[in-house]
Amino acid sequence: MTIDHILLDHGSGGKVSSAMIRNIMLPVFENPILSMLNDGANLEINGVRLAFSTDTYTVSPLFFPGGSIGDLAINGTVNDVSMCGARPLYLSVGMIIEEGFPIEELRRILFDMGKAARRADVLVVTGDTKVVPKGAADRIFINTSGIGWIPDGVDVGGEKARVGDQIILSGTIADHGMTILTQREGLTFDTGIRSDSAPLNHMVQSMLSVSRNIHVLRDPTRGGVGTTINEIALQSSVGIKIYEDRIPVKKEVAGICELLGFDPLYVANEGKLLAFLPPSEVEGVLSAIQKDPAGKDACVIGEVTDTRPGRVIMETRIGGERIVDMQTGEQLPRIC
């Protein structure tokens, strides 16, 4: 049975998305910058190195504990630019709004965007708005693009992980994805969990001020930590080993994941990063991350190995081993 229509799986960030990008999209635009498949593009213009990234935001509900589509749209692109090792400077904002959308909600979204931009210290410098007839879009979709400057000596990329590198995770996982899920209509949980939506540029800058010898930076958004480290294992052709008991998950979040049959490793984050770096740099960089409010739970979760390139192995809490594969499509809640 072939897939001849777009399914929600195509947007999941997992294997189905990745196959679509490689098979349908890449061949059309084929060029060495895009082919790197990093969170953003690294460009060089007249000797100045720049990072450029774009992302489109659609989330339901639009407002949720810990954030809204507004700050998500700013933070997401700020973070994608930051993961290139760059200092994000300027953003564009494009909006597609459905006819009938309340102006009051638009104001709230814009307010959140303004606040997030100030917090991240970036300027929104250009924008566009389209209104489509009722039913042609689901309330509001936002696209943001961002551009940033890469300082000298910084050289990060998903293909740059090296055997022996230690892997730092900046905090608890699955907070954003599970918050959204529990807020969706029809799910009547009262859990007190919040999205981790936050800009990571200040954290990245303080990391880089401690060490320029960081090989990989990546924010594990859609597809979660599990999918992101698989991408890096593939891009860098290295093996990765992680340790289950080191990966921080809030108790409440772990509880809801358990209840619904979700694996927190594959649930989205919006304010966390993974950094791959040589052991000599760990101490300094880790303490720089921990000084940031969004990084207080940061820790080393694993290392890069020379066994089984492209594969991620996890040592389980009880001392067993298993594969951590890339997610296939959307995680679906289970029956029992």
Distance from C-alpha of 308 to C-alpha of 231, rounded to nearest angstrom: 14
* Per CB under 8 A, 6 contacts another protein: yes
CA distance 72 to 268: 12
The answer to whether residue 138 forms part of the interface with another protein (CB under 8 A) is: no
Residue 143 or 227 having the CB closest to another protein? 227
Out of 11, 248, 309, 329, name the contact with another protein by CB under 8 A: 329
> In the complex, what is the shortest distance from the CB of residue 65 to another protein, in angstroms, rounded to a whole number?
14
The Cα–Cα gap between 231 and 238 comes to: 10
Give helix 279-291 / helix 201-210 axis angle, nearest 10°: 140
d(CA 3, CA 26): 19
- Give the nearer residue to another protein in terms of CB position, either 56 or 328: 328
Asked if 252 touches another protein (CB under 8 A), the answer is yes
CB 317 within 8 A of CB 242: no
Determine whether 40 is exposed, middle or buried from the number of CB atoms within 10 Å of its CB (0-12, 13-18, 19+).
buried
Which residue in 33, 115, 259, 280 binds another protein (CB under 8 A)? 259
The set of residues, in sequence order, having a beta carbon less than 8 Å from that of 243 and lying 6+ positions away, is: 301, 302, 314, 315
Cα 305 to Cα 15: distance, rounded to the nearest angstrom? 23
Count interface residues toward another protein (CB under 8 A): 46
Which one, of 215, 219, 220, lies nearest residue 88 by Cα? Answer: 219
Segment lying near another protein (by CB under 8 A), choices 43-51, 84-92, 244-252, 268-276:
244-252
99/258 with CB nearer another protein: 258
Shortest distance, position 240 Cβ to another protein, whole Å: 14
278 scored as a contact of another protein (CB under 8 A): no
The least CB distance from residue 328 to another protein, in Å, is: 4
Beta bridge partners of 144: 55, 93
The mark string for 174-203 relative to another protein (x by CB under 8 A, - otherwise) is ------------xx-x-x------------
Per CB under 8 A, 152 contacts another protein: no
Footprint on this chain of another protein (rule: CB under 8 A): 1-3, 5-9, 15-16, 19, 186-187, 189, 191, 245, 251-252, 254-256, 258-261, 263, 313-323, 325, 328-329, 331-336
